[in-house]
Amino acid sequence: MTVATTLFRFEGSYAREVPGLSVPWTAAVAPAPELLVLNEELAAELGADPAALRDPAGVALLAGQAPDGVPTVAQAYAGHQFGMYSPRLGDGRALLLGEVIDTGGRRRDLHLKGSGRTPFARGGDGKAAVGPMLREYLMGEAMGGLGIPTTRALAVVATGEQVFREMPLPGAVLARVAASHLRVGTFQYAAASGDRDLLRGLADYAIARHYPEAADASNRYLDLCRRVAEAQASLVARWMLVGFIHGVMNTDNTTISGETIDYGPCAFMDAYDPGTVFSSIDERGRYAYGNQPQILQWNLARLAETLLPLIDENGEAAVEAATDVLSGFAESYERHWAQGMAAKLGLAAPDPELTADILKLMRLQKVDFTLFFRALSAGTARALFAEPEPFDAWSARREGLLSADRAAMDGVNPVYIPRNHLVEEALEQATGGDMEPFHRLVDVVSRPFGERAGLEDYARPAPVGSAPHVTYCGT
């Protein structure tokens, strides 16, 4: 038995069952791997011994040095990036180490980022820096703590070499766990190949892995499309309810499973404004906070296009059926959003007018999104408004519609989110070698609903007068 199989019992169903959508490849050697952070809870969930992962052999595996007998592959996919189609993207600096059956019986991918150039690399060095890899770890734990479906990082390993961006930075490899790495872009790649059997094999694999109930549907491929749309409607509604902005909602970053993936230029909104954009590369605001539901529907339309030949041999009938599914996305999203907002506001039932009115008032008076809902349950929200009289009128309307007590509202309204200025401070210190602020922040945001003494600074937005926050696509 190899070292790797004593840590994980790897399987390779994707490469085996859908040949043509990945290529065998090996990671670049990390000259001096050093474990920066290990997610022991997730390791145990995967059935691994955290202590063994901290040993040299475990750290080497997490850095990509899989022993003989453990095939690693780079996955192929295409995608629309900021609306522009790229026919060949793929894992340019990433590798699928293998699949693990976790302690709950679920099949999950163990995947690397920053492990070196692959055949899908497009001019980059295939490496990653410590800061962006730690950001993905942090954001995954924050989203998991908020109850939002997400990929999660198992570990970040410093490689012992420098990567060159605007300046030399310490290199790192991220080990990430996902329900799978099947994306809308994976289907786009398969469809563009013109190989109907490849496309059907991918769809059947996705059904078996994520939506086995669809196998019994009268039209399994239409049902797959419908189930992905429902999963994504629920996901983006949850994003919106906590003020999360993904920042780069390309089709290659839209999963079939309904998990959040690729925490690059992501951030959480401070003052409520649907036009909020943090990403340095989103110059036109395509992926602004308020645009996320419509962008998700657009991405799903690209998925539906790939499935048309499988849905019905009659092209018109296939388009009609797929259009019906896409039309249902908006209704599903609105249902998830309305129900979530009712819970956040403590209402007995959704009230679209009351919700729209308070959001408009928050936008006009630049009220912090996270602070407002928490203060609402505490009875202190009035103090957040520079001109409180309109809030008083709204609050009087709300009184007769209440059903939830403070504890119920606090159970859905976080007190702690990854405040942008705190994230940047922690990552800067970690890049310089001080990991303590990072570990502290991870602990805070992974338990976001219970207020804890001594953590007041973690609940506050950036100081007034701070420069606008900008994020970069470093992952």
Of 91, 252, 351, 368, the active-site residue reads 252
Residues in the chain: 475
- pLDDT value at residue 279: 84
Task: Measure the CA–CA gap between 176 and 111, rounded to whole angstroms.
Answer: 5
**Tens-level pLDDT at each residue, the chain (475 residues):** 444 446 898 999 999 999 999 999 999 999 999 999 999 999 999 999 999 999 999 999 999 987 666 789 999 999 999 999 999 999 999 999 999 999 999 999 999 999 999 999 987 889 999 999 999 999 999 999 999 999 999 999 999 999 998 889 999 999 999 999 999 999 999 999 999 999 999 999 999 999 999 999 999 999 999 999 999 999 999 999 999 999 999 999 999 999 999 998 999 999 999 999 988 888 888 999 999 999 999 999 999 999 999 999 999 999 999 999 999 999 999 999 999 999 999 999 999 999 999 999 999 999 999 999 999 999 999 999 999 999 999 999 999 899 888 999 999 999 999 999 999 999 999 999 999 999 999 999 999 999 999 999 999 998 887 767 777 765 4
According to DSSP, the β-strands at 168-178 and 152-164 are antiparallel
**Tokens representing residue 70 in the block:** 């453990």
Task: Measure the CA–CA gap between 148 and 236, rounded to whole angstroms.
Answer: 9
CB-based burial label for 143 (10 Å; 0-12, 13-18, 19+) = buried
Task: Measure the CA–CA gap between 360 and 6, rounded to whole angstroms.
Answer: 56
Task: Measure the CA–CA gap between 73 and 185, rounded to whole angstroms.
Answer: 17
- pLDDT value at residue 6: 64
- Which segments of 47-205 are extended strands (E)? 73-75, 79-81, 84-86, 94-101, 107-113, 152-164, 168-178
CB-based burial label for 456 (10 Å; 0-12, 13-18, 19+) = exposed
CB 52 within 8 A of CB 139: no
* b/e 216-249 (16+ beta carbons within 10 angstroms → b): eeeebbbbbbbbbbbbbbbbbbbbbbbbbbbbbb
Task: Name beta bridge partners: 28.
Answer: none
Task: Measure the CA–CA gap between 453 and 267, rounded to whole angstroms.
Answer: 25
CB 273 within 8 A of CB 361: no
Determine whether 252 is an active site residue.
yes
> How many angstroms separate the Cα of 451 from the Cα of each of 192, 242, 455?
51, 17, 8
Residue 31 DSSP code: S
Q: What is the CA radius of gyration of the chain?
A: 23
- pLDDT value at residue 467: 63
**Tokens representing residue 148 in the block:** 């939002």
